[in-house]
Amino acid sequence: MLEKIEKVLKEAGDWKAKNSEEIEKFRLSFLSKKGRLNELFDDFKNVPNEKKREIGQELNKLKAKLEERFAELQQSKSNSAGLDIEKPDVFLPEINGSLGSLHPLTLVRKRITEIFARMGFSSEDGPEIESDWYNFTALNFAENHPAREMQDTFFVSKGKEQKDDMILRTHTSNVQVRLMEAKKPPLRSIMIGRVYRNEAISARAHCQFHQVEGLYIDKNVSFKDLKDTLLHFSKEMFGKDTKIRLRPSYFPFTEPSAEIDISCFICKGEGCNICKKTGWVEIAGSGMVDPNVLINSGIDPEEYTGFAFGMGIERIAMLKYDINDIRLFFDNDVRFLNQFQGA
Ligand code: DAH
């Protein structure tokens, strides 16, 4: 019996296992119900009484050693550098390569910020919940002027006594006034953010969208500076062959005012659906800051002049990426968002 125990111990000690299958074989041969250890325990019944104590001890030692050896084999396999590694293999190709992507509005926002930063424009922020003063009155919208109705407004609270109405800003132009109040000219900044209008939601209009506002105030700023700045921006954003055209327009806060069109970069002016066969697409409102706005913001219009412009970020993104429904920006449908990976 002792010889048998000795033999099993030696075999177990010599056992080599390179992979899970071979380790399992070890377990089956030695430790399972029908394995060698149990066989010996069965034989134990036939051991004469006077030897039972000694052999019993040896058998228990063997059991402990076999279990130890089994644990050892398992351990050495997980440490091995062979192919059968159960630890994650860093060299395997990735299973799910999706890292997510930036939202198209973020991409356009970043690009706009980059282009203007290179022309010396800083980025500024302002509140989305705004008083009537900053959103309208300071921007030269007269009380009861129909221009207030051009921008259907969401009201947050009705002003009482000395207090103003609080609203959701209808444009980013509110930040112009705040900026001119807070800092002395020269000022050269863009202001990007979300705006709200009480509009029926459709493929072309939404009750929330984003704008970028631009403001340049200094001595002797001219209409030519406005034109050159927006021409440079348009070329950077839509391609170096892009042309711009200015159409006379009206905004309470600029005089003179102009709408900026870019030459259609899809059909190159031949006429397509994007430009409605005109060869031009509108991208911005702009103009020379009205002297009343400068006065309302604490700047002397005799000393300083400036230009301002405002454009819709969704509109730029829709043109740039050929997106035909503004609602897609807010749906968070991954089939839409995934298309901007690596853009
Ligand atoms: N605030 C105008 C709008 O929401 C856009 C705009 C037009 C901004 C002319 C300007 C500007 O700064 O000069 O429609």
State the DSSP H helix or E strand holding residue 214, giving kind and residue range, or none if neither. strand 208-218
Residue 214 CA: nearest ligand 1 atom is 12
Kindly give the distance from the C-alpha atom of residue 286 to the centroid of ligand 1, in angstroms, as a whole number: 6
Average pLDDT for 151-159: 86
Residue type, 20: S
Kindly give the distance from the C-alpha atom of residue 138 to the centroid of ligand 1, in angstroms, as a whole number: 14
Question: Per-residue pLDDT tens for 60-85?
Answer: 999 999 999 999 888 877 665 555 55
User: Is the Cβ atom of 171 under 6 angstroms away from ligand 1?
Assistant: yes
* Average confidence score pLDDT of the chain: 91
Give the Cα separation of 322 and 83 in Å (integer).
49
Kindly give the distance from the C-alpha atom of residue 247 to the centroid of ligand 1, in angstroms, as a whole number: 14
User: Is the Cβ atom of 254 under 6 angstroms away from ligand 1?
Assistant: yes
Question: Per-residue pLDDT tens for 165-199?
Answer: 899 999 999 999 999 999 999 999 999 999 999 99
Q: What is the pLDDT of residue 142?
A: 87
Q: What percent of the chain has pLDDT over 90?
A: 74
Residue 326 and residue 203 in contact, taking contact as beta carbons nearer than 8 Å: yes
Average pLDDT for 40-58: 92
Residue 310 CA: nearest ligand 1 atom is 8
Residue 176 CA: nearest ligand 1 atom is 12
- The confidence band for 222, taking pLDDT boundaries of 50, 70 and 90, is very high
Residue 328 and residue 88 in contact, taking contact as beta carbons nearer than 8 Å: no
Average pLDDT for 221-228: 98
User: Is the Cβ atom of 293 under 6 angstroms away from ligand 1?
Assistant: no
Give the Cα separation of 178 and 182 in Å (integer).
6
Residue 285 has pLDDT above 80, yes or no: yes
Secondary structure letter of residue 289 according to DSSP = E
User: Is the Cβ atom of 130 under 6 angstroms away from ligand 1?
Assistant: no
